[in-house]
Structure 1
Amino acid sequence: MSYDLAVWDGDRPPDDHQAGSTYDELYERYLASNDVVMPPVPSITAYVEALVAQYPDDVDRRVVWASTPVLDEASGPLVYLAMSYSKAQEVSEYASALAREHGLICFDPQAERLRP
């Protein structure tokens, strides 16, 4: 079981409903199809690098990350973060704050809401 966040580069949606629509569109375009794999944009790469500097995704990644190396979950302007539920509160708070520092949007797909 994992707790997931989506982080993307773009304009901040005005509300949770629009953020959900934007997330759905980005997910379908960049992650749902295995036909086209795009390298992450520089802002997403820098964000992921800063994130895994704090919460490494190498040997002990199963302790924090529920999926493959985090950068493998990035495509174009979007990264999908799947973290272990036991670390979700700590890691998601850090990931959300870091997204804000990097000028990125952080969205909780489970709650269908923007993270502050």
Structure 2
Amino acid sequence: MSELFTSLEKDQTTKKDAKYYRYFHWASKTNVESILKQLEAIGLDAIVGSTSEAIKVAFPNGIPTSEDEFEDCLDWSEEQEDVLAELYEKEENLHSAVEEKLAEFARENDLLAQL
């Protein structure tokens, strides 16, 4: 899940920098397979829908069964790239939802006192 948080924190400057595009390129097959359950487990239900939709756009035939096949599926059409960018942009509260959840986690685990 850290790959999703990392990609969410970076600035979006071009279509290829769109957050879902980057996440799928950085994440492993295993990460993508488990991200929806992880988002639900930490209470980020607000972004489960768009992330699920992004997975369907990125992997229209389903998440590949092997890492090699997974890597081969990352060469998307311009239309897929556009849709992935639109999905991210559609989630206006995505960034703030992640920031709020990270801040809540830091408070609950007294991480700020350790700085």
TM-score by length of 1: 0.29
Greater C-alpha Rg: 2
Greater fraction of residues in helix? 2
Greater fraction of residues in strand? 1
TM-score by length of 2: 0.29
